Structure 1
Amino acid sequence: MPIFIFFLPLLSTFICFLCVLFKENRKAEILSSLLISIAAFLSILCYLKINVFVGNYNIYNWINLGNIELKLSVFYDPLTAIMFLVVNSVSALVHIFSIGYMASDPYRARFFCYLSLFTFAMLILVSADNFIQLFLGWEGVGLCSYLLVGFYFSKLSASNAALKAFLVNRVGDFGYLIAIALIFTFFQSLNFEDVFSNSASYAGKNFIFFGYDVDLLTTITMFLFLAAMGKSAQIGLHVWLPDAMEGPTPVSALIHAATMVTAGVFLVARCSPLFEMAHLTLNFITYIGLVTCLFAASVALLQDDIKKIIAYSTCSQLGYMFFACGISAYSLGIFHLVTHAFFKALLFLSAGSVIHVCHHEQNIKKMGGLCRKIPITYFFIILGSLALMGIPPFSGYFSKDLILEFAFSLHSIKGNLVYYLGCLGAAMTSIYSVRLIYLTFHGKSKLKTKEYESVKEAPLVMLVPLFLLSLGAIFSGFFFYKIVKYESFWKNSLFYKENINFVDNAHHIPFIFKLFPIITVILFSFLVLFYFSKLNTFFDFTNKSFSKLLIVIKQKWYFDILYNFLFIKKLKIFSKFLWKRVDQKIIDGLGPLGVSYCVYSASRYLKAFQNGKIFSYATFMVLGIILFFSLIFISF
């Protein structure tokens, strides 16, 4: 059955491609949604009966060169089972939602083709049993994100955003390629089983890297994490993620909830046996996750675009997943990945519903008063926000608070840092979540009168996916709790420290520290509501007291401006030099243009002899005959 699930999105892609050729938009959206929904249903069944289906299902003997033997296969273990469930479930609901959202788009068959291909690429990635197949899926999701973010390619901002996402991720991909090269050089294999089983024997081994004596496993894991930083938009390589909002909103839900950004967390979890041998890398992952969590949450505080607020929220939540991995709690990181997938997809699709009924307006300061017009969507976005903030009993509470509680139970400087800064991140999460809800749904409407009067609830085909995702936002914490409670569930698919039970450790911390994250979130939520009731006073105070800091945050901490100054401008100057001097003057000048000029010059001289005079022709004929016989005479 896992192989059948694996190929259903590919079949959907092929059918949608035929529909593109024959311009059958309706058939594309119905058939693709049906096939991905079947894949989601079967993924749930396989997860529930996981002991029956665990195994390595070989599809094709791909590479066989000497000692290198790589197979295209479906490596179905507990980690793959969870990812299959999340990817296919969210993708199915995004497909169904898109039927309503993209109803007026004449190119929606192409859109559904890209969505299905995106899903298939992610399944290739999560079902890999070797680094090469994982890289195939890795590049596949990168390509699909480029196609989907740039779906409206005639729009310059969308085209630029797609290119930006593609290029920034190339930095991370470069790190992955170096890691593969190092793994193959020293381990003589690219299969996970061979590499992970021998990782302990390479602990502490050094090698010369560009003249420096460095630790092998630290270097490999650093480059692997560089790849993860690119895909999962960690600070420094995060700049593509907000711009990716230029794509249709269902794309944003798929990228941010189930596919591209989760790939980096999955990579770290899958390679956990390697990362556990590199403590320096684990510390680096922890601190990068913490900085990203706080940085992205701070930027989300002052964003006005509803999709960009949720996008920076994703960036921040990915920080939680990474610093969970950094403290060796890989199962907690995956647990948060799962719960986050449902409530983040709910938030994005709810935002898409708002944008759809507001005639594609995305600025929350131009909305207001929508709770009276679209109460169902309002209810769903509140559910998603409560899960995001970690309010019990919603799913975010189970995963996020468990990470913070376990970090505190470590009784170390790193653990305490994770706990307190994680609580600060949770406080900022509550601020931007309440701000989004208040400005979008409460107060006086800022829409034009005709636009406001025309606002009505989204069609049923868009509301049903929201309802199903809301169930995930509420109950996924209960449903997936066993993946962190019972070590035996993972069957060695994740590294698990001996004699450590995350749930028991978290439960033994003082009760006040269990309550502290919840109290912080609730307190800041009410403070924001209080200040919004006195809106002008609040913003006058903040503008006067923190004006310079607000400018920095509003400019996203100047990352884009800094990169533009350090890299983009200089690269443009260098590219222009290469174009003008090297390409045109040297390559073209000595190459095709030079040859053509020589031929042209020679033809000009030869043309002078074509004068129409018989005497000239006879002279050249005689000279030719003399030359011919002279050559024959010389050869003998």
Structure 2
Amino acid sequence: MEYSLIILLLPLFMFLLLGLCGHKMSHRTAGLLGTTGLFIVTALAYTVAFQYFTLPRVDGVYQTLIPFNIEWLHFTEHLHISLGILLDPISVMMLVVITTVSLMVHLYSIGYMHGEVGFQRYFAFLSLFSFSMLGLVVATNIFQMYIFWELVGASSYLLIGFYYTKASAVSASKKAFIVTRFADLGFLVGILILSFYTETFDFKTLTDGSVSILSSTGGKTFLGFSIASWAMALIFMGGAGKSAMFPLHIWLPDAMEGPTPVSALIHAATMVVAGVYLVARLFPVYCMTPEVLDLITYIGAFTALYAAVVACVQTDIKRVLAFSTISQIAFMMVSLGVASEAAGLGYMASMFHLFTHAMFKALLFLGAGAIIHAVHSNEMSHMGGLRKYMPITHITFLIACLAIAGIPPFSGFFSKDEILAAVFEKSTFWGVWMAVVAGLTAFYMFRLYYNIFWGKEAEHEHTPHEAPKVMSIPLIFLALVTCVAGFIPFGEFVTSDGLPYHIHIEMSVAVTSVIIAIVGIALATWLYKNPNDKPARMAASMSGLYKWAYHRFYIDEVYQFITHKIIFNGICSPIAWFDRHVIDGSMNMLAWITQTTSYHIRGLQSGRLQSYALVFILGAMIIAIIAVICL
């Protein structure tokens, strides 16, 4: 599988080609080049996946392969940074997910971005992002992952701020970049602690039992917690930032300012799952620190509920999907948090949901893009009754809504059922909690569906129309994948211990989850299918909760208060005053003294011989007088 290196190099080549020469190309040429390059990468990724999963297992386990690896920086005999490609079940699975969604986004963007200024630049940035994300998932060591992790952040910044003449897009890109940089600082510190004690960056060494972080740290503690716990919690901080976990979630809803295909690629299927992938990649290490897994569970469970409640009242369709993404990623985090070496169901369920969610959430975002393309608005109040004008978008969007709601036989039912089964196996409390979130998911998704395709038809300047074929084909393909992906025997390929797990439906959990989903859908149908005043009356009866949820519980305002009122005004302004008046004032005073003194003594170096002779004679006389007095 040495040719797997092409999977990385081809997107990088397309970025350089389109970035440097794109301005000389037509839109059609640039789009075809970018899409063709991704098609080749996707074909190679599927080939790698087929070859890898058809290799014979050793002791029932798929082996970890490293077809390419070179040493880059050498520190000690054991500690060095390499650049290479690591193939194991989760990295190969991620290759399939990333390339599939990226290819659909490239194809869709040919139609969606047609006529946009900077079309070639957009496709160059897509290629850069694909290269960065692919490099992240096949990294052989945690420092290589960190390099591509930061490159993913830079790519995200460029794509979110694509409309750089639009102030809101610029602000959103800076917000995403800054928030994730704070999280990544924790990630970097965690990497340094982990590598300092284990003397390795290598994933294979860290996860195969060759090195134990508990024994490496020698039981050392800091502030009551073990060094191992601090290291893994700080690494999770990086993952929480990328995956928009509370309280580092604030960047994701604003990131919807970027082009809608970007939302499908970055904020539904790839970048936001990087945090989940990070925890899964280091899962054997996390199992040594169960208290950190508990922390992941708490943060994930709270984030899932918080995001679901907020999604129930948003009116911008992309922001509904953004908070839905946050909630679904939190499902995956909770599933990893409740897993352990002895009970690995949560690990498999998390990866399974990552796989299925990538497909139907990308479908939802691309469907939203087709709707926005037709009505030229993100607001649900400007939609309604679109099923008559956009039949393909309507059917595919409905399939995605049924999948995310957990209705059989769509893929979301199977993966979410496994998550709920894993959570109930760990704790009844968290099982009920996540079941409630699943019910809210069904409600807000069908609230979105009915407001777009049913309800009162809004007035439009132009009659809405179905998206062109180049945009409809990705919708149909992703809808078909959503219909069949749940039947993939995922547990046969990806598990925490490498041994095959035979997925079976836990009937008590499945029946309960489906009933809860049906209740959520029924409530949404009663409130939103036909025009009525029930939603307004319900919002008025719970005006306090509705207002708080609509404003995202004022978390952004809290950040604004902390940063502007406390940090900027309370800390930075006094420091700036001290710098200007004390530090700069002291330097200015020294300069003034030097200048004034120089002005008054400038006559000493006038260049006139008579003046020098006079001074010399006066000086000699003074010295002579002093000598006489002293003698």
- Give the TM-score normalised by the residue count of structure 2: 0.88
RMSD (Å) for aligned C-alpha atoms: 2.8
Deviation of 1:619 after TM superposition, in Å, equals 3.7
Deviation of 1:165 after TM superposition, in Å, equals 0.9
Deviation of 1:586 after TM superposition, in Å, equals 5.1
Q: Quick one: which of 347, 363, 373 aligns to 2:379? A: 363
Question: What residue identity is the alignment partner of 1:576?
Answer: S
Q: SS at 2:67's partner residue? A: strand
Establish whether residue 526 from structure 1 lines up as the match of residue 522 from structure 2: yes
Q: Distance in 1 between matches of 2:264 and 2:148?
A: 19
Deviation of 1:280 after TM superposition, in Å, equals 1.1
Q: Quick one: which of 224, 227, 235 aligns to 1:224? A: 235
Question: What residue identity is the alignment partner of 2:382?
Answer: K
Establish whether residue 468 from structure 1 lines up as the match of residue 477 from structure 2: yes
Deviation of 1:531 after TM superposition, in Å, equals 2.6
The aligned counterpart of 1:119 is 130
Q: Distance in 2 between matches of 1:9 and 1:598?
A: 62
The aligned counterpart of 2:497 is 496
Q: Distance in 2 between matches of 1:353 and 1:373?
A: 12
Establish whether residue 179 from structure 1 lines up as the match of residue 152 from structure 2: no
Q: Quick one: which of 565, 572, 584 aligns to 2:568? A: 572
Deviation of 1:502 after TM superposition, in Å, equals 6.6
Q: Deviations over 1:386-431 (max 9, x none)?
A: 11111111111111112112333x2x5x2x2332222211211111
Question: Are 2:244 and 2:251, in contact at CA under 8 Å, matched by a contact in 1?
Answer: yes
Question: Are 1:19 and 1:27, in contact at CA under 8 Å, matched by a contact in 2?
Answer: no
Establish whether residue 513 from structure 1 lines up as the match of residue 509 from structure 2: yes
Question: Are 2:451 and 2:528, in contact at CA under 8 Å, matched by a contact in 1?
Answer: no
Q: Quick one: which of 454, 458, 467 aligns to 1:446? A: 458
> Alpha carbons of 1:620 and 1:528: their partners in 2 closer, same or farther (altered >3 Å)?
farther
Deviation of 1:496 after TM superposition, in Å, equals 2.8
Deviation of 1:625 after TM superposition, in Å, equals 13
Q: SS at 2:72's partner residue? A: strand
Question: What residue identity is the alignment partner of 1:524?
Answer: G
The aligned counterpart of 2:75 is 65
Mapping for residues 368-383 of structure 1, pairs under 5 Å: 368-383=384-399
Question: What residue identity is the alignment partner of 1:421?
Answer: W
The aligned counterpart of 2:444 is 432
Structure 2: runs of 5+ lacking an equivalent: 56-62, 340-345, 621-631
Establish whether residue 325 from structure 1 lines up as the match of residue 322 from structure 2: no
Q: Distance in 2 between matches of 1:129 and 1:590?
A: 53
Mapping for residues 218-617 of structure 1, pairs under 5 Å: 218-328=229-339, 329-359=346-376, 361-408=377-424, 410=425, 412=426, 414=427, 416-448=428-460, 450-451=461-462, 453=463, 455-479=464-488, 481=489, 483-484=490-491, 486=492, 489-490=493-494, 495-496=496-497, 501=501, 503-504=503-504, 507=505, 509=506, 511-532=507-528, 536-573=532-569, 574-582=571-579, 584-585=580-581, 588-589=584-585, 617=607
Question: Are 2:269 and 2:361, in contact at CA under 8 Å, matched by a contact in 1?
Answer: no
Q: Deviations over 1:475-527 (max 9, x none)?
A: 22223x2x31x3xx34xxx63398x94735xx4x5x34321111211222122
Identify the range of structure 1 (571-580 vs 116-125) with the bigger mean alpha-carbon deviation. Answer: 571-580
> Alpha carbons of 1:201 and 1:244: their partners in 2 closer, same or farther (altered >3 Å)?
closer
Q: Distance in 2 between matches of 1:118 and 1:17?
A: 13
Q: Deviations over 1:561-580 (max 9, x none)?
A: 22222333222213333334
> Alpha carbons of 1:605 and 1:167: their partners in 2 closer, same or farther (altered >3 Å)?
same
- Give the TM-score normalised by the residue count of structure 1: 0.88
Question: Are 1:29 and 1:99, in contact at CA under 8 Å, matched by a contact in 2?
Answer: yes
Q: Distance in 2 between matches of 1:418 and 1:497?
A: 27
Question: What residue identity is the alignment partner of 1:61?
Answer: E
* Percent of aligned pairs with the same amino acid: 35
Q: Distance in 1 between matches of 2:184 and 2:352?
A: 26
Q: Distance in 1 between matches of 2:368 and 2:196?
A: 48
The aligned counterpart of 1:634 is none
Question: What residue identity is the alignment partner of 1:515?
Answer: V
Establish whether residue 18 from structure 1 lines up as the match of residue 29 from structure 2: no
Question: What residue identity is the alignment partner of 1:457?
Answer: E
> Alpha carbons of 1:56 and 1:513: their partners in 2 closer, same or farther (altered >3 Å)?
closer
Question: Are 1:199 and 1:273, in contact at CA under 8 Å, matched by a contact in 2?
Answer: no
The aligned counterpart of 2:157 is 146
> Alpha carbons of 1:225 and 1:542: their partners in 2 closer, same or farther (altered >3 Å)?
same
Q: Distance in 2 between matches of 1:478 and 1:515?
A: 18
